[in-house]
Amino acid sequence: MKGGISSGIVYPRAVCHLAERYTFRRLGGASAGAISAAAAAAAEHGRRSGGFDKLKTVPTDLGTHLADLFQPAPTTKPAFAVLSNWLEPKRSMAGKIWQTLIAIIRGAPVAFLCAAVLMLIPALAIGSGFGLPATLAQWLGGSVALLVWAPVAVAIALVVALVFFVVRTLKALPGNGFGLCDGHTRDASVDYPPLTDWLADVLDDLAGLPKQVKPLTFGDLWGDAAVELAKALDLKEKKGTAPVEDRIAALEARRIDLEVMTTNLTFRRPYRFPFTSRIFYFCEKRLRVYFPGYVVDHLVGASAPAPDGKDGDHIVAMRCPCHGEQVRSLPDPWDIPVVMAARMSLSFPTLISAVPLFCVDWARGPGRRTLIEAWFSDGGISSNFPMHLFDSLWPTRPTFGINLSPQHPDYDNVVWTPRPQGRGGRLPRSYEMKSVVGMYKAIFDTMQNWVDTTQITMPGYRDRVAAVLQRPGEGGMNLKMEPGTIEDLANRGAQAAALFDDFDFDLHRWIRYRVAGSELDDTLAALRHSYRRGTKEFIEAYGPTAGRYPIKPDQAVTDDRAATAGLIAVADVAQELRHPSSAGTVPKPKPSLRLTPRQ
């Protein structure tokens, strides 16, 4: 499910429609899509207790409270007031400008008054003849000078107030996780829970758990058998003896598998959450700013303090840089609360605070390696429509994606899918550029979404994607949509899911088989070419003397040579049969099978 802040309102009823026909095994998303994926996973867990019936009502419940989820910290409240003013759908441009000026003055009243007074003093002095007005003429001169100069003085005072306002906001943002709203701080004037607290309650309710007692965890979703397999696999991986079959078995055993995308701004890269590596730590005090108390209590109870590390003769102190407390290792993946995953993925820059974890900066020089903050922000920054999360060369179950797009200029549809397989889905949708601002928007969109955009057009992808089309003023940053608009968007989600009612899974599997076969043909041909031109001799000569990553024990060396020879024999057969997997019409555009980093 794609990210999009308030656009996430389209997903609950889409999920509920699909739930009438399917049982959800794997769910994923980014940003607002991650919240919806988490809610769908919780509803599947609580299916017997009416999870999906409850999920269907979430858009209606939010009809008049969507904006209330976003509650600023005291230090960022003035800036949030300005943003909130510009999100008012019924306010005129003149009204928005006026309310913005009022908010700036309220945010920096001393700067405004001082600047205004200082600017009015010269006008009063000139008009009164640089003295106290003693005659009617001097009084009239001073009054006229004030009237003439007052607009200029107010304008300059506004500029000064704006500078103070911006500087104060820029200073406040880092202390609030680089965002206006941290998701947990409550605004006393709002009678509704903030985003993270609301989400934690919703997830507990959907899953059939009592609220604010024990948070829903990934282990709850996986099931006891899968957790036991994961624990056994974890022990084998620590010893370096985990076979591939065990990893596959552990994944397939999960009753409900949830994965979301988050972006590590410190490392400039995306991560899947829950993490597969054990390099991150958390500070209890820091997380209590972002999550309800009972969620942090669970994290503390399921974790252990991180012992100080060693960098040669240098001690790496595992203490929070903010207040010196010992940080704790993140719990095992099965003990991580689901609400943490959703919040780690939804951290829309500037609006919603990034979440701080910690790690050791091993990239520094010897003796300089210390514990640093690792800031996790919105998953949509790096992958806004992560269709790749559960991808498989030869799928055994259908997977669907719900995309979000602007209204098409040539069609009145509110939902759309590029099926059937054909030319209409091979090229991404075009967007006109009519201004310099439009050009920069296009540049930003391309940087953020080029992988997702090109992936959607691929055979075996485009047939399982439905798009909800949004009109101006809908979704995205439009936090103050009318209840009727929210209801309409929610129903569009169900309409998009209905496009999959006639999904031909057999055709989909056949397309994936043809695509995979064609790419394996190319890969095997390239391996065969390399093997016949020196790689075979290199492996046999270098392998026994390899100082790093040797194959052990000796029997494994023999088995490896035999397995490699067997792989090349398969390539030989494909060559002799003239690559039958690539015969006939192969679905286009042709993808590329290559190595990519694990996220």
Catalytically annotated residues? 31, 378
C-beta of residue 237 within 8 angstroms of C-beta of residue 224: no
C-beta of residue 149 within 8 angstroms of C-beta of residue 158: no
Give the Cβ contact number of residue 463 at 10 Å.
24
DSSP 534: I
Q: Cα 429 vs. chain centroid, distance in angstroms?
A: 23
Give the Cβ contact number of residue 50 at 10 Å.
14
Side chain identity, residue 438: G
List C-alpha distances in Å: 226 to 37, 251, 252, 442, 555: 20, 8, 8, 44, 32
Structure tokens at 219: 């282990």
Rounded Cα distance, 171 and 151, in Å? 30
Strand-pair partners of 26: 257
List C-alpha distances in Å: 596 to 252, 388, 592, 593, 599: 22, 12, 11, 9, 9
* DSSP E strands, 112-182: 179-181
Structure tokens at 220: 């709850």
Structure tokens at 143: 């009054």
Query: Of 115, 336, 139, whose CA–CA distance to 218 is shortest?
Result: 336
Query: Of 385, 378, 386, 343, whose CA–CA distance to 262 is shortest?
Result: 378
Rounded Cα distance, 378 and 398, in Å? 27
Alpha-carbon torsion angle 185, 189, 195, 197, nearest 10: 70
Tell me which H or E stretch contains 466: strand 465-470
Rounded Cα distance, 283 and 296, in Å? 10
Q: Residue 466 — φ and ψ, nearest 5°?
A: -120, 140
